[in-house]
Structure 1
Amino acid sequence: MLHCTQMKPTTSLPNVNQGNLTSRLTASVGMMKESCPSGTIPILRRNLREDYKYLLTPSPTTGVVHIKMARGKYYGSAADLNVYGLLDVGADQFSSSAIWVLNDGDGLGPLEQTNGITVGWTVNPPLYGDTNTRLFTFWTADGFQKQGCYDLHCPGFVQVSRDVPLGGTISPLSQIDGTQYYIRLLIYRDPVTENWWLVMGEEEKLIGYWPKALFSTMIAHANLINWGGSAYSSSGEWSPPMGSGRYCEAGEGEACYFGRVKLVGEGNVYRAVGDKEVKYYSSGCYDVGEFDDLSSGGGQFLFGGPGYC
């Protein structure tokens, strides 16, 4: 059976009000000097340990910090993700900052029915073979058990961008008490095709989409949205840093932030996240600050920690 590739969504979302971004600058992701030829896409050449478990599912996490929405009907989310380098992440560790868009079947069934998409930045030596800060994506169709994978390491995500490689290195990176850089990411559902799109940057560059055929519970909508960080360390090792490596009490400019956090509501329009709508979750030796609802400009919060516990 022949399948057509959708080259752009049937609808687009309006630009988010940038608000006060005078101290924040946009980072880029492995942007190529020349786009790939028509009909081709950039694929990251990997020099990594070919350990299939890292390609299929994320390892159990040592620590997670999330700002979470209660169950509801959601059609996507957008946010600015402050980007940092984390040189102290070990060979068998990872540390990530991401948006999670999920549907767990309203929590009424087994874990295996959970569908989900994760996008953000990561330092992941087991997967990429270095400690570079990289753009990453992950999808699952069975609660992070067997169906799903990172980036383009297996069939699933359909890339349309000819110049942004998934897994590409992000630069420049933020410096503590220095210039702050971010990447803006948007995941949203095309209401006609029911595919889930990934869009990046202020210019709203189309990166690609996850076809609805990948999913079972997340075709019509998601029912959970999380924003925050996760970190993993093998048994017996100190945990890695998360975010900038500073706790949220260090404040903006030192602790890692999420900014202009928005939801995509019914009708594919942005809506604000109220500070009384969110729940907080933290585990391990990391923390998350209060969610600050800035209404039309989107919400923001700080998170992270040094690890080593």
Structure 2
Amino acid sequence: MRSTIFILLWLLITVHGGSPSRHKILEVERKLKHLRRHSLKTIKSEDGDIINCIDINKQPAFDNPALKDHKIQMAPTHNSAKKDLTVGSRTSRYGKKMNESLIVTSQVWQKSGKCAEGTIPVRRIRKRELLKADSVEEYGRKKPSFSHHEHGEVNKNLDSFVQLKNHSKAILFTVGYRYLGGKADLRVCNPFVEKDDEYSTTQVALLTGPHNDFECVQSGWAVNPSVYGDRQTRLFVYWTADGSKETGCFDLTCPGFIQTNNEIALGAAIYPISIPGGLPYVITIYIFKDPCTNNWWMQYGEKTNIGYWPPELFETILYNAQSVEWGGEVYSARVAQTPHTATQMGNGQFASVLDYSSAITRMRIHDNSEALKIPEWTYDFSDEYNCYDVWYMSEYIYDPQFYYGGPGRNPKCP
């Protein structure tokens, strides 16, 4: 026990220049022991991850008191994606080829093993990431996202949850209807993230509520060192019921999201990755509401249902969302500061470099209509156009395309 405590102390001193309290060390040890107690099988991935195969009925979600009596829904009762008549496809070695993009369904850990039916793959949390968090409860949570009211920078024509403090967004969004789903193909990139407490994500998000207390479910890919301990591009889900003040987290790092799939691990690395000028690998993300149970399902690819956010987590989005967003997000304390963060969005290229920049295609919404459809009314938005910009291409093409991203710090964004 003494040697374990010494090692943990040394690790934190190396990273932070300070030492944790004995209480925090013991709290971290209890948390890790608690998370691993139901592991039935361990898979060591070649990229350094450890995947625990956990009994589906004993997954982290059920540590949430609100889900004490919740019964798992193994499959959605209705899926409007089947009625998206705009889709055409051809087969490729990594999945499906759609609109000249290669749909990725692979994760690195899958080369090393698989989890049996009745279990789910859970990426093991590392001690060092948990120790670096301000507290065990805040690990895996985004920083609270209050809008820039104090600086008078809010665009009054935009919904307030679009603009967030310490977050820079380059997005396309739609408002004005009752949204029951949102979908897109997201080109998978590996942006440079300058500091360990910063991140860069690309996602599909559905939101509702006021700026300081909004509810949100989202999924996509992320480079997030503070959660994952490295700079690999990883699949993620995220939720919050109060603007990330006290609820919500990435993946399964807190009790909330219920996973039903035994083949895909949330937080695991995605491969292959797109590079500028190379093959455009994409992941397909579809978030939709089950009309019978009010569960918000997350689908990966065209038919793989990963799991869902149950309505017990929320107060308003359980009925419908007020907005759907597609695009990139960078978190840094040096957003809107000089010097600006050098953390990239997308693949680091500006949206105007069409053949090389990050793209989101096949954007769909599910409103009150029976089938998925292309959104009729959309708005593009960038917090810092000289750092990360946007370009929505909708004229003279059958299916609109959205380009976004940028390098962060550059001569126009010092």
What is the TM-score normalised by the length of structure 1? 0.89
Residue 201 of structure 2 corresponds to which residue in structure 1? 96
Residue 212 of structure 1 corresponds to which residue in structure 2? 311
For residues 203 and 323 of structure 2, what CA distance do their matches in structure 1 show?
14
For residues 150 and 88 of structure 1, what CA distance do their matches in structure 2 show?
18
Q: SS of the residue aligned with 2:199?
A: strand
For residues 154 and 142 of structure 1, what CA distance do their matches in structure 2 show?
15
Write the letter of the residue equivalent to 1:206. Answer: N
Gaps (5+ residues) in structure 1?
Answer: none
Q: Is the 8 A contact 1:95 1:122 kept in 2?
A: yes
Residue 111 of structure 1 corresponds to which residue in structure 2? 212
Write the letter of the residue equivalent to 1:152. Answer: L
Residue 157 of structure 1 corresponds to which residue in structure 2? 257
Higher-helix-fraction structure: 2
Distance 1:223 1:291, change over 3 A: farther
Gaps (5+ residues) in structure 2?
Answer: 1-67, 90-97, 145-164
Q: SS of the residue aligned with 1:243?
A: coil
Write the letter of the residue equivalent to 1:83. Answer: V
Identity of aligned residues (%): 32
Moved more, 76-85 or 280-289: 280-289
For 1:127-166, what aligned pairs fall within 5 Å after superposition? 127-166=227-266
Residues 48-87 of structure 1 show CA distances to partners (whole Å, capped at 9, x for unaligned) of: 5211434123465341111111232100111000011124
Q: Is the 8 A contact 1:68 1:226 kept in 2?
A: yes
Q: Is the 8 A contact 1:29 1:134 kept in 2?
A: no
Write the letter of the residue equivalent to 2:357. Answer: A
Residue 173 of structure 2 corresponds to which residue in structure 1? 68
Rg larger in structure: 2
The size of the alignment, in residue pairs, is 299
Q: SS of the residue aligned with 2:140?
A: helix
Q: Is the 8 A contact 1:243 1:303 kept in 2?
A: yes
Q: Give the CA RMSD over aligned residues.
A: 2.2
Write the letter of the residue equivalent to 1:27. Answer: V
Q: CA deviation at 1:233?
A: 2.3
Q: Is the 8 A contact 2:192 2:348 kept in 1?
A: no
Q: SS of the residue aligned with 1:223?
A: strand
Q: Is the 8 A contact 2:194 2:341 kept in 1?
A: no
Moved more, 6-15 or 148-157: 6-15
Distance 1:167 1:184, change over 3 A: same
Q: CA deviation at 1:257?
A: 0.4
Residue 365 of structure 2 corresponds to which residue in structure 1? 263
Q: CA deviation at 1:279?
A: 1.4
Q: Is the 8 A contact 1:260 1:299 kept in 2?
A: yes
1:6 aligns with 2:73: yes
For residues 54 and 300 of structure 1, what CA distance do their matches in structure 2 show?
35
Residue 24 of structure 1 corresponds to which residue in structure 2? 101
Distance 1:208 1:293, change over 3 A: farther
Q: Is the 8 A contact 2:218 2:287 kept in 1?
A: no
Distance 1:188 1:22, change over 3 A: closer
1:299 aligns with 2:400: yes
Residues 253-283 of structure 1 show CA distances to partners (whole Å, capped at 9, x for unaligned) of: x100000000012255202112xx1112111
For residues 268 and 55 of structure 1, what CA distance do their matches in structure 2 show?
36
Distance 1:283 1:179, change over 3 A: same
Distance 1:111 1:87, change over 3 A: closer
For 1:31-50, what aligned pairs fall within 5 Å after superposition? 32-33=110-111, 34-47=113-126, 48-50=128-130
For residues 158 and 88 of structure 1, what CA distance do their matches in structure 2 show?
29
Residues 176-233 of structure 1 show CA distances to partners (whole Å, capped at 9, x for unaligned) of: 111110000000000000100000113x101000001111011111111111111022
Q: SS of the residue aligned with 1:269?
A: coil
Q: Is the 8 A contact 2:167 2:330 kept in 1?
A: yes
Distance 1:147 1:268, change over 3 A: farther
For residues 223 and 165 of structure 1, what CA distance do their matches in structure 2 show?
29
Write the letter of the residue equivalent to 2:253. Answer: H
Write the letter of the residue equivalent to 1:57. Answer: K
Residues 5-33 of structure 1 show CA distances to partners (whole Å, capped at 9, x for unaligned) of: 00000112216433583631122342625
Q: Is the 8 A contact 1:103 1:224 kept in 2?
A: yes
Residue 227 of structure 1 corresponds to which residue in structure 2? 326
Q: Is the 8 A contact 2:177 2:367 kept in 1?
A: no
Q: Is the 8 A contact 1:89 1:131 kept in 2?
A: no
Q: SS of the residue aligned with 1:71?
A: strand
Distance 1:2 1:54, change over 3 A: closer
For residues 126 and 257 of structure 1, what CA distance do their matches in structure 2 show?
26
Write the letter of the residue equivalent to 1:245. Answer: G
Q: Is the 8 A contact 2:201 2:223 kept in 1?
A: yes
